[in-house]
Amino acid sequence: MSGIIVFLMISIGRGIAVQLAKCGAKVLALDVTKESLDKLKAEMPEIDIINVDLCDWTATKEAIKKAYPIDLLVNSAGVGSIVTLMEVTEEKYNVIFNVNVKALINVTRTVIENLLDRKSPGAIVNISSQAAIAALPNHTLYSASKAAVDAFTRAVAMDFGRNGIRINSVNPTVVMTDLGRRFWSDPVLAEPMLAKIPLNSVAPTCFRT
C-alpha cells in the first residue's frame, strides 16, 4: 500500500503518517514547513518527505506526481481562524480557503487522476471538522471552509464510487494539536465547547507513538 499524507504543522496528519508507516505502508508526507518534515523524518526514516507550499497549485501537483502510484490519500492540512463576519478580509479569506479547500481539491484531483489512469481502487480521507455541522461563535471562515470540504467529499464520492474510489470525511471536535491549543487553551472559549461534549474533555493527542 502506498499512501500520501498531506498535512500542515498539525499532529493529526503527523500521527496518521506515523501509524501508517508502522503498519507497513509506504508513506509520503507533504508539508509547507521544512522543520516539521525534518522532525518526522528523524522519528520515522522510512517516511518520504516533500517540502512544498500546498497553496501553489502547480508545485503541489508536480510533487504528488513524483510519488505515483498512490492508493491512499489523507488530506489533513488545515488552518483555523477566529473571526466574525465583520472581521473578514480578502486576505483572511484567501488564507483559510487556499489551504482548507483549494489545496485539498487540487491534491484530491491529482491522486484520483492517477487512480483512474491505473484503473485502480483507492481510498481518500478528508479531515474536516464538527464546525462544518454545528455552528461555533466567531468561526465564520473556518466553518464555511470545512462545510465546503464536506460538500466536496460527498460530490466526489458520488462521481467516483463506481470506479472503486472511496472518499469520506472525518469530523473531529476538539483535538489538542498545536492548532487546537492556540484556540482552546483559553477557558472562556473552551468551556462552552466542553459543555457540548458528553465526556467533558477534548482529545489530548491523536495517536500514541
Residue 22: what are its φ and ψ, rounded to 5°? -65, -25
Residue among 200, 149, 154 nearest 174 (CA): 200
Secondary structure (3-state) at 72:
strand
Catalytic residue among 39, 93, 119, 142: 142
Q: Is position 61 annotated as part of the catalytic site?
A: no
CA atoms within 13 A on the CB side of 206: 17
* CA contacts within 13 A on the Cβ side of 183: 20
Strands (E), 41-185: 48-51, 72-75, 122-127, 165-170
Exactly one of 34, 39, 102, 146 is catalytic; name it. 146
142 is catalytic: yes
Cell 466567531 belongs to which residue?
138
Question: Which residues does the annotation mark as catalytic?
Answer: 142, 146
